């Protein structure tokens, strides 16, 4: 993702890559050696150098480096990918969805000097993918953060497209919703129609998605498309409506926008939790599978530490899960009598004393840095210490304390906001309720008669985006 932040004494425009393990397009896998002619073709447009973490130049790249540097190879492949993707013809009926057509010539007209930075460079904090300094715009210079080798070909290509648009003077604004709303610096564009850096990035990803054949590659690109659409624009594009995804007791995920109820997916086995994982809706199957939603009818199975840790829970514990929590670098599961959190040596547990939990109480902006809190069946909210303190012998560190600061709607264990400002909530008994803007009390929703729900998480959804990605 992207940010405009003030780093004295210069203004930095940065591209933030939360998912640095970005998929590579077919035919762009890094190889040991590239054809020197391919390297020459790109170096005819760009000067490429590398700096150390102190900002000292340590290398000027040339065609002689066509064999011996993985970062340089990835950059050449990223530039080639942009050239290939920019040639894709967009049908006229879809042209507005893909934004203004970017071409390879657009990139070469705005970027001339590319500086590769190590992951520990000061300017590459918080996993930034690339930056443009105001003081270097006249020289058409951009810096790429190589993320300790984790930067991928497609991730670099996306960053180049994004930063090229910043060269035209487009800057970000403070986010008004989503996982970046709590950040202190500007991270969003006002709208897709404004055609800023996020819009150019999104248009590029949509085109790239159309070129890919491998399902795994398409899934990873689709993840970034969805992440950009959901969180990068203050005015959500493509007909997206603000509402909530709801997991009910019939193992269905529903979307409700305050007026219309839509079935997203009916699962055939038991789903124990629906959670927001780094901005993506994921469901946890009792059988150990974890799947993510990327606007396809079939949810995508995911792999990695989140899944391997989840599968380490006993079948009995998985069956008893009420909710899942991902924040402050924690991975925790709420059970009926305890919380189980992942630690290096396995799971550590917080055992409840006199509290009957219902769900984890999430921050409404879906921040990944909120404190762990639970909602009890009495409607009270309790702060839970970080998992490293679960085994502390100091009661002030390892106890649950009631959170009495009333800043959230009362009477619901989870809630989302719709376009009108109305609240969609689930009370501790599992009833889906609604409260219109400025109304004093909750009322039951007829569409949910006979339905018991487990949780609602804020989300934006539209059939238009689902059609675009299928």
Over residues 410-424, the pLDDT tens digits come to: 889 899 999 999 999
Kind of pairing between the strands at 432-435 and 453-461: unpaired
Q: Looking at per-residue confidence, does 23 or 61 come out higher?
A: 61
CA distances from 437 to 172, 379, 417, 423, 440 (A): 29, 22, 10, 7, 9
Mean pLDDT of the chain: 85
Mean pLDDT across 341-345: 88
Which of 7-11, 174-178, 370-374 reaches the highest mean pLDDT?
174-178
Rounded to whole angstroms, the Cα distance separating 90 from 26 reads 20
pLDDT (average), residues 60-74:
88
Segment 359-378 shows an average pLDDT of: 76
pTM of the predicted structure, to 2 decimals = 0.84
pLDDT at residue 253 in the model? 98
Is pLDDT above 50 for 6?
no
Q: Spell out where 335-404 has E strands.
A: 338-343, 346-351, 357-360, 373-376, 381-383, 401-402
Q: Which burial class, exposed, middle or buried, applies to 169 when counting CB atoms under 10 A from its CB (0-12, 13-18, 19+)?
A: exposed
pLDDT in the model for residue 180: 80
**182-191, 201-210, 217-226, 363-372, range with the lowest pLDDT:** 363-372
pLDDT band per the 50, 70, 90 thresholds, residue 327: confident
What are 433's strand-pairing partners? 425, 444
Q: What CA–CA distances, in Å, run from 340 to 172, 314, 392?
A: 39, 11, 15
Q: In this model, does residue 431 exceed pLDDT 50?
A: yes
End-to-end CA separation in angstroms for the chain: 23
Hey, what are 407's tokens?
């800043």
- What is the model's pLDDT at position 103? 79
* Residue 366 burial (CB count, 10 A): 23
Mean pLDDT of 141-154: 80
Q: How far, in Å, CA of 233 to CA of 230, rounded?
A: 7
In this prediction, residue 143 has a pLDDT band, given cuts at 50, 70 and 90, of very high
pLDDT tops 70 at residue 366: no
Paired residues of 274 in beta bridges: 283
Tens digits of per-residue pLDDT, 193-203? Answer: 999 999 999 99
Q: Is 446 helix (H, G, I), strand (E, B) or coil?
A: helix
Total length of the chain:
470
Burial class (CB in 10 A: 0-12, 13-18, 19+), 215: exposed
Q: Which domains does the chain have, with CATH numbers?
A: 2-235 (no CATH), 241-469 (2.110.10)
């Amino acid at each position: 993702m992207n940010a405009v932040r003030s780093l004295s004494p210069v203004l930095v425009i940065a591209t933030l890559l939360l998912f640095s393990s970005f998929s590579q397009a077919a035919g762009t896998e890094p190889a040991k050696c590239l054809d020197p002619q391919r390297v020459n073709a790109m170096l005819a447009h760009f000067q490429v150098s590398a700096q150390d973490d102190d900002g000292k130049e340590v290398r000027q790249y040339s065609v002689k480096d066509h064999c011996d540097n993985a970062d340089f190879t990835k950059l050449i492949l990223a530039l080639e990918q942009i050239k290939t993707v920019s040639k894709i013809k967009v049908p006229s009926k879809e042209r507005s969805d893909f934004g203004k057509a970017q071409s390879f010539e657009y990139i070469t007209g705005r970027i001339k000097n590319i500086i590769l930075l190590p992951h520990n460079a000061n300017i590459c904090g918080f996993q930034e993918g690339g930056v443009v300094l105001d003081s270097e715009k006249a020289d058409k210079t951009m810096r790429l953060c190589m993320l300790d080798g984790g930067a991928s070909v497609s991730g670099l290509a996306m960053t180049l497209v994004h930063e090229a648009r910043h060269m035209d003077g487009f800057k970000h604004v403070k986010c008004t919703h989503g996982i970046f709303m709590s950040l202190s610096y500007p991270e969003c564009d006002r709208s897709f129609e404004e055609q800023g850096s996020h819009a150019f990035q999104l248009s590029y990803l949509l085109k790239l998605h159309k070129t890919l054949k491998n399902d795994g590659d398409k899934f990873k690109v689709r993840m970034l498309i969805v992440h950009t659409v959901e969180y990068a624009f203050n005015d959500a594009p493509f007909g997206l409506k603000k509402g909530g995804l709801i997991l009910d007791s019939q193992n269905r995920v529903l979307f409700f926008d305050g007026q219309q109820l839509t079935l997203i997916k009916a699962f055939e086995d038991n789903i124990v939790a629906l959670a927001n994982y780094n901005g993506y809706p994921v469901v946890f199957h009792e059988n150990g599978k974890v799947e993510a939603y990327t606007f396809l009818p079939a949810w995508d199975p995911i792999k990695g530490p989140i899944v391997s840790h989840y599968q380490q829970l006993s079948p009995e514990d998985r069956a008893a899960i009420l909710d899942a929590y991902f924040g402050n670098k924690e991975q925790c599961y709420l059970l009926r009598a305890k919380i189980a959190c992942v630690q290096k040596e396995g799971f550590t547990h917080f055992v409840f004393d006199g509290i009957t939990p219902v769900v984890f109480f999430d921050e409404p902006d879906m921040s990944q840095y909120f404190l762990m809190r639970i909602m009890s069946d009495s409607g009270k909210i309790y702060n839970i210490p970080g998992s490293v303190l679960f085994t502390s012998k100091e009661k002030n560190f390892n106890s649950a304390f009631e959170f009495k600061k009333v800043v959230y709607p009362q009477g619901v264990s989870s809630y989302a906001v719709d376009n009108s400002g109305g609240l969609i909530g689930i009370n501790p008994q599992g009833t889906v309720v609604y409260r219109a803007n400025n109304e004093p009390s909750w009322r039951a929703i007829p569409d949910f008669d006979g339905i018991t729900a487990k949780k609602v998480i804020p989300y934006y959804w539209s059939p238009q985006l689902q059609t675009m990605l299928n």
